[in-house]
Amino acid sequence: MSTQTLLFIILAGIIALSLALFQYIYKSKKRTKVYMLLAFLRFVTIFSVLLLLINPKFDKTTYTNEKPNLVIAVDNSESVSYLRQDSKAKRLIAELKTNKELNERFNLEFYRFGKEVQASESLSFDEKQSNPSLLFDRLSQVYNRTASPIVLITDGNQTYGNDYEYSTNRQKQPVFPVILGDTTQYLDLKIQQLNVNRYAYLKNQFPVEIIAVYSGTSNASSQLKITSGNATVYNQNISFSKSNPSQVVNLTLPANRAGVNSYKAELIPIENEKNVVNNIKNFAVEVIDQKTKVAIVSDIIHPDLGALKKSIESNEQRQATILKPNEFLNQSNDYQMVIIYQPNNNFRLVYDEIEKLKLNKFVIVGKQTSWSALNSFQSFYSQNITNQTEEFQPALNPNYSTFIIDNLNFSDFPPLVSEFGEVKFSVPTETILFKTINGTQINESLLATFEANDRREAILLGEGIWRWRAQSYLEDKSFTNFDDFIGKLVQYLSSNQKKTRLNVTYESFYNGNDDVKINAQYFNKNYEFDATANLSITLKNKESQETKTFPFILKNTSYEVDLSGLSAGDYSFTVSVSNENISSSAELKILDYNVEQQFLNANVEKLQNLATSSNGTSYFIDDTNALLDNLLKDERFVTIQKSSKNVVPLIDWKFLLAIIALSLSAEWFIRKYNGLI
């Protein structure tokens, strides 16, 4: 409280006392107990009212005790049960939950993780992937401001995501790994890794790389065999020793038959080998007899060109070539689609050639685009020339229905730069991305598609798309999502196939641990997306002839069904619409592979390194008493008393209003009782 406020309070007290004494003592000339009481009540009333006018502020301090959190994260993947450690993990969880001292000292928080992370203590040990890296990412966001040691109950075997051993760079909590498994080394051969392209081209050869690993002390020999159906397409004898425990085999196989071709790579087991599941890896290659060639035509050098080429060629079914306008004219017949980047006056013949060949195109404009030339080359859209630039950020149109678009957090993407002003279209368009200026979305297209004269076209009104690809990598640690976005746009523009009312999106084959998801879009007779339809998929296993039917669920502007968990095999399926004579049929293959069954031991070394780098300690599952003792004795994890100081104005003190009302009421009653009114 300031000195000035204190002086005002003293002055208020003097004024209140003076007025009370003047009215009841000096003016009445009486000093009885009744008049003294009335003077006191009047003093209280006046002084309280003056205090409300002064409204002094007081500091109010409150104290709270904050216990540290103890985060208990359990590996819920299949490898734990495969190593026969699931019952031990459950017993440890039960012991931690019921330990009285532990609960008094910590707030216990339970998580389980596989490919995803969930706040839960229920365990099934049936998840097909294990991603500890994602766990640490999530925990570093939630517990970045509190003392929250992490008890990590896992075998340390990772099958998905970034290497978790270096996760302590992102989170500052000590990690106490509880190792599920032992360090016993068993004699074992396994295919550590198999690298092969997903696609190959008919009558070509495709490369295969196999890394075979041996665990043992004596020399061992085996045979690597690759079969397709009942035919052996490759075999090779390989030898291992303690000093040479791995072999890298590079080979090529012929692509003689179009479609999905499945293969099995196998290391023939050696004597006394405990785990033979990891000796086998199934793989598949889709052989295609055509390749989409895309021409990127530009008269300038810009990083967007490289980003587009990389995104397009991330799918090996496509090839992109960056060309000058005159180079494109000399080889225009080689391409099925054209990307025109920032056209200027040199593009007139390019537009004439595209018109003659009836090619689909994707036009990207920016600061160096000549709108006077572009307005004269075509009649589908136009813009007034302002010679001013503007930055536009993207906002996804959730109602876009021409093809399925996933939201890549476009609102967080850097802005694109283009000429200021509105582009006016003379044909109906479908907007994929709207423009956003200074955080406000406007009803103008940033990226749009349209169909005219039996051809398809897209236009992007801004340069700098290379920054989008970089931002996508920063968010997802991969270019895949952005490349898929560009790939879907290119796929749409590469085809002149007429729009159908039922479109189904799927992969020709899936690995055993992949998410098997199929998407579909259904349109009414006016080719508007129908969000009220009832879609289902009937799946038939070709070998067992077993048939199952699953419903689709609505997801934004598409329908989706998750078939993850199906057994390996060849399937045919039919997607149909209830009460409509519309359906779509196709086939898919699920390869037999379970990555969680490839491990014989816990990854002790990596877990110990994780504990050391995070200032924690590692324990084996049979030594958890030491874990409990150390957690209870560790002086880093103590209850903290926190104080919170709030400045409270007197006007918020409701008791003062009650005192004023009470003193006025008492004064009136006493005066009335004594006949002074």
10-48: pLDDT as tens digits: 888 888 888 888 877 777 777 778 888 888 888 888 888
Task: Strand 259-267: give its sheet, edge to edge.
Answer: 199-201, 280-288, 259-267, 220-228, 231-240
Helices (H), 402-494: 465-476, 480-494
The owner of tokens 């990590």 is 152
Domains located in the chain, CATH noted: 3-59+650-673 (no CATH), 68-181+601-638 (3.40.50.410), 188-288 (2.60.40.10), 292-494 (3.40.50.880), 502-595 (2.60.40.10)
Distance CA 276, CA 52 (A): 85
Q: Sign (positive/negative) of CA torsion 540, 543, 545, 550? A: negative
pLDDT tens, 440-465? 889 999 999 999 888 899 999 999 99
Give mean pLDDT, residues 377-396: 90
pLDDT tens, 501-552? 888 988 888 877 778 899 998 888 767 788 889 999 999 999 899 999 999 9
Distance CA 212, CA 191 (A): 5
pLDDT-based confidence at residue 636 (cuts at 50, 70, 90)? confident
DSSP string, 190-253: EEEEEEE-SEEETTSEEEEEEEEEEE-SS-EEEEEEEEETTEEEEEEEEEE-SS--EEEEEEEE
Give which of 499, 405, 488 is closest to 451, Cα–Cα: 499
Give mean pLDDT, residues 209-225: 89
Give mean pLDDT, residues 217-238: 90
Burial class (CB in 10 A: 0-12, 13-18, 19+), 593: buried
Please state, as a whole number, how many other Cβ atoms lie within 10 Å of the Cβ of residue 399: 12
Looking at residue 497, its pLDDT comes to: 66
Classified as helix, coil or strand, 40 is helix
pLDDT tens, 544-578? 999 999 999 998 778 999 988 788 888 999 999 98
Distance CA 170, CA 655 (A): 51
pTM higher than 0.85: no
**Structure-derived torsion over alpha carbons of residues 552, 558, 563, 569, reported in degrees to the nearest 10:** 110
Q: For residue 346, is pLDDT > 90?
A: yes
Looking at residue 308, its pLDDT comes to: 95
The owner of tokens 């390194």 is 609
At 217, list the tokens.
């002390």
pLDDT tens, 71-130? 999 999 888 888 888 899 999 999 999 999 999 999 999 999 988 899 988 888 888 888
Contact 394, 433 (CB under 8 A): yes
**Structure-derived torsion over alpha carbons of residues 265, 199, 256, 205, reported in degrees to the nearest 10:** -80
Distance CA 506, CA 489 (A): 16
Integer Rg of the chain from CA: 37
Question: Kind of pairing, strands 423-425 and 416-419?
Answer: unpaired
pLDDT tens, 582-611? 899 999 888 877 777 777 778 888 899 999
Q: From the DSSP assignment, how many helices (H) and strands (E) are in the chain?
A: 15, 36
Distance CA 408, CA 474 (A): 12
Distance CA 183, CA 144 (A): 33
Q: For residue 193, is pLDDT > 90?
A: no
pLDDT tens, 160-189? 888 888 876 667 889 999 999 876 777 888
**110-119, 186-195, 207-216, 414-423: least confident range:** 186-195
Three-state secondary structure string covering 497-518: CCCCCEEEECCCEECCCCCCEE
Contact 447, 458 (CB under 8 A): yes
